[in-house]
Amino acid sequence: MYDESHVIGASWVLQDISGLKKAEEDLTRARDELERRVQERTADLEASNRQKDRIVEELRRANEAKDEFLGLLSHELRTSMMLIYGGIKAVRRMSGRINEQEAVSLLEDVEQETDTVYRMIEDLLNLARLELGEQLTTEPVLVQHVIRRFARSFGESRPEREIVVDVSDELAAALAEPTYVEQVLRNLVSNVEKYAPPESPIELRAAMNGGAEIIISVLDRGPGIPEEERDAVFERFYRSSQIPKRVRGMGMGLTVCRRLVEAQRGRIWLAPREEGGLEVSFTLPVARDGSGN
Ligand SMILES: Nc1ncnc2c1ncn2[C@@H]1O[C@H](COP(=O)(O)OP(=O)(O)OP(=O)(O)O)[C@@H](O)[C@H]1O
Ligand SMILES: [Mg+2]
């Protein structure tokens, strides 16, 4: 038979056990929580390590690209300077021994090479300005004037090369940066000179595309660009494997063209021509007030 003190003792023991159970549960919960936090922190650390590895890899690639670029650039500049220096020296040293025609031809080479260096420097400066996020100042531009001016100055320095201009009389003014438009033309025409046969004509066209934009195209009768390379040629330093190694270049011209066109809110693309050759076109938005210079 139990007496009262027995009952009270048992209830104490029960209370004790349930207290212990609760403490144990609390402990388990706390341990689970700790484990969960450790797992979370480990996952965070792993993620930030992966991100760090990615950044290190990106920096390594950017550094490699920069080295490759500086190598290419110095090679191109040195080659151009040697040709310019050599040409001028030859004319000066041999002035008594070569006829006027030979001297003119040497000076034409010097002029062409100076043009190449000029285009290269402009490309580099424009690219650097755009990458630094420089704000563009656009104005209403009569593209037909820019194209005709460009064709005239091209004709003066390369009288032997046929350049055909076909611009619509109905062109509205574009909202653009005139020096950028000219730089795009200079790059595209320099490609035609390098990659299409010298006796084939260079065509420059401009027409309205609906009411909101103008399409400007440079067309040639060269080898064209295979479909699988039509995106890649807009990448920095990309040069097609189809072109002969002796044709010099840094693979930068089309990259710069795309940046300059997009900075002016336009698009640029390549298309094959029906009877052979390449058509490179870009758009410029129409200026709203319609006036231009
Ligand atoms: N009109 C064209 N006809 C055929 N291939 C072309 C033409 N224009 C460009 N390409 C191809 O696209 C590549 C990239 O052209 P891009 O103008 O960017 O560089 P590049 O002419 O090689 O060098 P640069 O930096 O001096 O312009 C060229 O190397 C060439 O393979
Ligand atoms: Mg080029």
pLDDT, position 68? 85
On whether residue 180 sits in a domain, the answer given is: yes
On whether residue 75 sits in a domain, the answer given is: no
Query: Domain range spanning residue 258?
Result: 139-285
CA–CA dist 19, 163 (Å, integer): 98
Q: Give the other-Cβ count within 10 Å of 213's Cβ.
A: 18
Q: Is the CB of 263 under 6 A from ligand 1?
A: no
CA–CA dist 92, 87 (Å, integer): 9
Q: Is the CB of 223 under 6 A from ligand 1?
A: yes
On whether residue 229 sits in a domain, the answer given is: yes
Of ligand 1's listed atoms, the one at least distance from the Cα of 116 is 26
Centre of ligand 2 from the C-alpha of residue 57, in Å: 30
Q: How far is CA 217 from CA 14, 50, 220, 230, 263, in A?
A: 93, 46, 10, 16, 18
Pocket test for ligand 1, best of 191, 229, 256 (most atoms within 8 A of CB): 191
CATH code, domain carrying 225 = 3.30.565.10
pLDDT, position 11? 73
SS (H, E, C) the chain: CCCHHHHHHHHHHHHHHHHHHHHHHHHHHHHHHHHHHHHHHHHHHHHHHHHHHHHHHHHHHHHHHHHHHHHHHHHHHHHHHHHHHHHHHHHHHCCCCCCHHHHHHHHHHHHHHHHHHHHHHHHHHHHHHHHCCCCCCCEEECHHHHHHHHHHHHHHHCCCCCEEEEECCCCCCEEECHHHHHHHHHHHHHHHHHHCCCCCCEEEEEEEECCCEEEEEEECCCCCCCHHHCCHHHCCCCCCCCCCCCCCCCCCHHHHHHHHHHHCCCCEEEEECCCCCEEEEEEEEECCCCCCC
On whether residue 146 sits in a domain, the answer given is: yes
On whether residue 185 sits in a domain, the answer given is: yes
Cβ atoms of residues 231 and 216 within 8 Å:
no
What residue's CA is closest to ligand 1, atom 4? Answer: 224
pLDDT, position 98? 85
pLDDT, position 47? 96
pLDDT, position 95? 79
Q: Is the CB of 239 under 6 A from ligand 1?
A: yes
Kindly list the averaged pLDDT for each block of 10 residues, start to end, along the chain of length 293: 66 78 93 95 96 96 88 90 94 86 91 93 90 89 97 93 94 96 97 96 97 97 95 92 85 95 97 97 89 52
- Quick one: tokens of 140? 């209403």
pLDDT, position 147? 98
Cβ atoms of residues 214 and 284 within 8 Å:
yes
Q: Taking the C-alpha atoms of 18, 22, 28 and 33 in order, what is their torsion angle to the nearest 10 degrees?
A: 170
Of ligand 1's listed atoms, the one at least distance from the Cα of 255 is 18
The span from the first CA to the last CA of the chain, in angstroms, equals: 117
Q: Is the CB of 268 under 6 A from ligand 1?
A: no
Residue 82's Cβ-side half-sphere holds a number of Cα atoms within 13 Å equal to 6
Enumerate residues 6+ apart whose C-beta is below 8 A from 42: none
On whether residue 203 sits in a domain, the answer given is: yes
On whether residue 169 sits in a domain, the answer given is: yes
Q: Which ligand is located closest to the Cα atom of residue 237? A: 1
Q: Give the other-Cβ count within 10 Å of 224's Cβ.
A: 20
Centre of ligand 2 from the C-alpha of residue 107, in Å: 23
Q: Is the CB of 253 under 6 A from ligand 1?
A: yes
On whether residue 88 sits in a domain, the answer given is: no
Q: Work out how many domains the chain is built from and give that number.
A: 1
Of ligand 1's listed atoms, the one at least distance from the Cα of 243 is 31
Of ligand 1's listed atoms, the one at least distance from the Cα of 256 is 18
Burial classification of residue 87, based on how many CB atoms lie within 10 Å of its CB (0-12 exposed, 13-18 middle, 19 or more buried): buried
Of ligand 1's listed atoms, the one at least distance from the Cα of 76 is 26
CA–CA dist 84, 230 (Å, integer): 33
Q: Is the CB of 86 under 6 A from ligand 1?
A: no
